[in-house]
Amino acid sequence: MTYEVAVRTLCDFTAKCGNLDMRFTPSPSAMEGIAGHRVIASRRSSSFQTELTLEGDYGQLHVRGRADGYDPEENRLEEFKTYRGDLGRMPENHRALHWAQLRIYGWLLCKQKGKSSIKLALVYFDIASESETVFCEVRAAADLEQHFTEHCQQFMSWAESESAHRQARDAVLRDLRFPYSQFHAGQRELAQTVYRRVRTGGALLAQAPTGIGKTVGTLFPALKAMANGQVDKVFYLVAKTSGRQLALDALRRLQPTDSQPPVRVVELVARAKFCEYPGMPCDGAVCPLARGFYDRLAAARAEAIDVSFLDQDAVRQVARRHQVCPYYLSQELARWSDVVVGDYNYYFDRSAMLFGWTVTHQWRVCLLVDEAHNLVERARTMYTAALDHEALVSVRRRPPEALRGPFERVDRVWREVTAAQSEAHRIYDDLPQELLAALDTSIAAMADHLSQQMGQDEALQEFFFAVLAFRRLAAEFDSSTLFEITRSDGQGSVLCLRNVVPGRFLAPRFAAAHTSVLFSATLTPHAFFRDILGLPRTCEYLDVQSPFQAEQLTVRLVRSISTRFRDRERSLVPIAQLLARQYASRPGNYLAFLSSFDYLDRVAALVNERYPHIPAWQQHPGMKEPDREAFLARFLPEGQGIGFAVLGGAFAEGVDLPGSRLIGAFVATLGLPQVNAVNEEMQRRMDTLFGSGYEYTYLYPGIQKVVQAAGRVIRTAADRGVLYLIDDRYAQLKVRKLLPLWWSIDRARPSVPADKRAGAEPPAAGAAVPRGS
């Protein structure tokens, strides 16, 4: 069996040695690197060849890659490396890695063209000055072949074990059986559709209700497809920590219990949660786990792959035994794992590691995007950047001499721009070009200064990265992003590039994946998610029928109350009365969702004042994890009381309170985003781009939050409960079309709901009106 490896991967494995050094290194952006390569190539002769595809074999190892450039007249092969700052400060192990790559390319070219020797040139290009520093050597083909052989031999034992692992993995996965005695209703349809999509490639939006087992229903078919060679890796991407744990639990259940787990799984977590020496820089001169990291990595990696199931605890244990950094060990293990479980940002962020590796190594990847409705706001945040003038003022207080002039220019132009604005907040069609030019000058100056600085200036680094992020987004500014200036009292102001349609940034990431499966209980309408997230027009859509029956959930539509902002004051008493009336008719545990903390506080206070016998507890802004756990702990089986929460907050999704732990919910809002200048401009942009401004900006996001919150009530086929939708706008046809098909809305007077205990019968529904009638 042939094992294929990229030159870069081969050298990363065999040529890295010494310390881990992740101190500030102002490396060029990808666009700057591409531009730098073009500048170098433009300086070469007309016969100069770029992006040469080279490949060769050593036994069953097939090595491939692309060399940056070759001059056939000079018989000179070149490798380009862009950088910022002082080249002399580049760690020696980085330079050794670059030479190792170039020498392997040298042998592959000699073999391809029948050369007996070749001139090798390692070209370092300074992005700031556009100057080149070139290191040259002439090597005989025999010497380069020996170099190639040594690296291949080091890698061969690993390659053989990898090939054996894949063969054993695929054999086990071909015989993999579903881990339960039978599929839940709708789960088989989901699994079959995912499997077909993975086999053909492409994108799938799958709306599937809570409770059918979406995690197993997507992982199982993806693993079956892996056994047949459709994909190399599965990336299970989540919005929250709870999603990671559910995926890991499902993967454990999918692994055979009578043998070594055939599927290598690694969990990726944030550095802050993994770091053994918080506050210490990732520098071998300081951190003991960074010192000699690459010298000890091979042994740690070898032990880890034998462990196979590498959640964060397992990675930490291996790292401690070998005295290496657990965070960077987990990243190394992700290269060699079959399934990677981690946050959205590992693939979708601008500098996402998994996306970069997918492109570099040409992996055939299956993306499983959990609770994909969250990706809209998360992606908008990833591609939004802000600059606060106060941060500039802070770094200007005692600036290094080299930065004094650039900072003064930025400050002067910034003040001129904001002085021309009379409003507190304004959205602009164009960017201030003079300010961008000043920021460019400051970026170059800060990069040079920081690259030469021995100590760590954290405030300056933070400002540098903020300016760099802002400027990189500014370079791609278009109608999918708003440019805003917000003025505060005095001289303060904030510049913001706010992304509203992240699709243009996400589209290349979906295109790089063989298959993208996005699933959630709320992906209606699918065209909204396709457009906003940049999915291809060929994206398939699946709407899995709910396993729940209309009789399980009594949906009461309360049209007599308006929760619009102008009506808030007069809605307080009717809402409190409704909550108390329902509680009196059937005591038990309820959740009441409102649109803001202010609204929540006022309703909760009124309930406490008028109905002190009703136990009540409420969500507060900025609740820490122990406080959130305490809030949920109040929902005891057979318990009684009302928990007040904000719609769209921590308790509106991802909360599982089956049976009598929750017998009903009140949603006293339509969930619409606040009407303000930003959202109004967003509506205009959405109308221009998609022809559905109001729906894309207000209606769809609001109703998605409502459906997510309502989904807390019915969690299993045995559950029974009640849901109150409190607002006259719920009677509108365009709103009711967005509600789940299995709901039946009762507009009769509120009556006693059934509790959620198995076997309990719901009350008479009265004049039930099916949705859409």
| Span 265-309, pLDDT tens digits | 999 999 988 999 988 888 888 899 999 999 999 999 999 998 889
What are residue 646's DSSP bridge partners?
594
Q: Where are the alpha helices (DSSP H) in 43-140?
A: 92-113
- Give pLDDT, residue 88: 80
Q: Is 41 exposed, middle or buried (0-12, 13-18, 19+ CB in 10 A)?
A: middle
Assess whether pLDDT exceeds 70 at residue 448: yes
State the Cα torsion 744-749-750-755 to the nearest 10°.
-50
263 close to 255: Cβ distance less than 8 angstroms: yes
- Give pLDDT, residue 757: 37
Q: Which helix (H) or strand (E) holds 680?
A: helix 677-690
Q: In whole numbers, what is the pLDDT of the chain averaged over residues?
A: 91
- Give pLDDT, residue 456: 67
Quick one: residue 667, left, alpha or beta (phi over 0 = left, psi -120 to 50 = alpha)?
A: beta
SS3 346: helix
- Give pLDDT, residue 365: 97
Average pLDDT on 650-663 reads 92
Q: Which helix (H) or strand (E) holds 37?
A: helix 30-42
Q: DSSP 3-state helix, strand, coil percentages of the chain (rounded to 5)? A: 45, 20, 35
Assess whether pLDDT exceeds 60 at residue 766: no
Task: Tokens for 643, please give them.
Answer: 């928990």
Task: Tokens for 116, please give them.
Answer: 């007996």
Average pLDDT on 435-455 reads 85
- Give pLDDT, residue 234: 98
- Please, which pLDDT band fits residue 258 given cuts at 50, 70 and 90? low
SS3 663: coil
Tell me how far the alpha carbon of residue 27 is from its chain's centroid.
Answer: 23
- Please, which pLDDT band fits residue 382 given cuts at 50, 70 and 90? very high
- Give pLDDT, residue 257: 64
- Please, which pLDDT band fits residue 34 given cuts at 50, 70 and 90? confident
Measured N-to-C along each axis, helices 214-227 and 241-254 cross at an angle, to the nearest 10 degrees, of: 50
State the Cα torsion 521-522-525-527 to the nearest 10°.
-80
End-to-end CA distance of the chain: 62
- Give pLDDT, residue 284: 83
Assess whether pLDDT exceeds 80 at residue 23: no
- Give pLDDT, residue 738: 94
- CA atoms of 168 and 314, how far apart (whole Å): 22
- Give pLDDT, residue 713: 95
Q: Which helix (H) or strand (E) holds 123?
A: strand 117-126
What sign results for the dihedral spanned by CA atoms 391, 393, 399, 401?
Answer: positive
Residue 770, preceding bond cis, omega within 30 degrees?
Answer: no
pLDDT digits (tens, 9 = 90+) for 564-608: 999 999 999 999 999 999 999 999 999 999 999 999 999 999 999
Other beta carbons within 10 Å of 448:
19
Name residue 323's amino acid: Q
Determine the Cα angle at 583 with ends 577 and 586, to 5°.
Answer: 140
Assess whether pLDDT exceeds 50 at residue 319: yes
pLDDT digits (tens, 9 = 90+) for 454-488: 556 788 989 999 999 999 999 999 999 999 999 98
Top pLDDT among 171 and 748 is at 171
- Give pLDDT, residue 706: 97
What are residue 770's DSSP bridge partners?
744
Tell me how far the alpha carbon of residue 332 is from its chain's centroid.
Answer: 19
SS3 344: coil
- Give pLDDT, residue 91: 80
Name residue 695's amino acid: E
Q: What is the pTM of this model?
A: 0.89
What sign results for the dihedral spanned by CA atoms 234, 239, 242, 243?
Answer: negative
- CA atoms of 613 and 465, how far apart (whole Å): 54
Alpha-carbon distances, residue 474 vs 180, 285, 478, 657 (angstroms): 51, 37, 9, 45
By percentage, how much of the chain surpasses pLDDT 70?
A: 94
Determine the Cα angle at 535 with ends 533 and 536, to 5°.
Answer: 155
